[in-house]
Chains A and B, each alone.
Chain A
């Protein structure tokens, strides 16, 4: 899976869950996602159709997905997930940039079947570091 293929599928096939290094490792190694309460909906895995494409992506994600309340280190990894897989389906929120996969009250969720790949921001560009 190349960065170009991830970008080509952004929005209709794939969504991107932006997170930090340790949480990305938890997803890569154990398919373990940290669920959180969002403004738009309750607990869930939040993702966006903003694709990793350049240095400006970091700022876009911080502004549009975190209301400006995050640092680049918190969103340095873009975990590509399938928008729908089996019975699991990300639902679009009222926010045009935000989708959510509801997880009930679970804070740590093991999810099989939605993971596609992970891209890391190196400070100047995005590099795919892992794929399913």
Chain B
């Protein structure tokens, strides 16, 4: 009888709780959101069109190959890019593969995989060049960038202004530092 009475009661829809308040997020989520901000950096945006189609696909959906969503581990970045784990750690620790740390573990978001693929796509000569400048002092590095900037400026003549603006956007970021 008791069951019958309960069944006969018309269920009222539970009102949806609606609210807006400042969010307090965990340090881990804060790190992930900071990585999302770096994804919007013009220097990173400039890398996207240079990735192969298969690499872009892997960036959009790593779960097909790895079995889960971001963040990825060093081993998983190695698996996706074909680098060794040791190489991934090397480039990450030298700041060329963007990552964050959870304890001792390096973790990689979308921007990390994009920068890792960019390293993979670079030729041995380019990698050698990067290794060389990584050892330079800031003064020496700035001098080299100055020479390259002059070279770039001379080559931009005759290029469509919008394309030139796109190509030089990463340099503009330096002025915001």
Contacts and interface: CB of A to CB of B under 8 A. Distances in A.
Interface of A: 20-23, 25-26, 29-30, 32-34, 70-74, 76, 85-88, 103, 106, 108-114, 120-124
B36 A20 contact: yes
Contacts of A70: 40, 45
20 contacts: A21-B36, A22-B33, A26-B29, A30-B23, A30-B29, A32-B29, A33-B23, A71-B44, A72-B56, A85-B16, A86-B16, A88-B20, A106-B22, A109-B20, A110-B19, A113-B17, A113-B18, A113-B19, A122-B60, A123-B61
A71 B166 CA distance: 13
Contact of B69 (A21, A32, A73, A86): A21
Contacts of A88: 18, 20
B116 interface: no
Interface in B9-33: 16-25, 29, 32-33
Given A73-B59, A123-B60, A22 B20 contact: no
A25 B32 contact: yes
Given A26-B32, A73-B39, A74-B39, A109 B59 contact: no
B48 interface: yes
Interface in B67-110: 69-70, 109-110
B17 A112 contact: yes
A109 B21 contact: yes
Interface of B: 16-25, 29, 32-33, 35-36, 39-40, 44-45, 48, 56-57, 59-61, 64, 69-70, 109-110, 114
A109 B22 contact: yes
B48 A72 contact: yes
Contacts of B40: 70, 74
B20 A73 contact: no
A103 B33 contact: no
Given A20-B39, A20-B110, A32 B60 contact: no
B162 to A, nearest CB: 10
Contacts of B29: 25-26, 29-30, 32
Contacts of B17: 112-113
Contacts of A21: 36, 69-70, 109-110
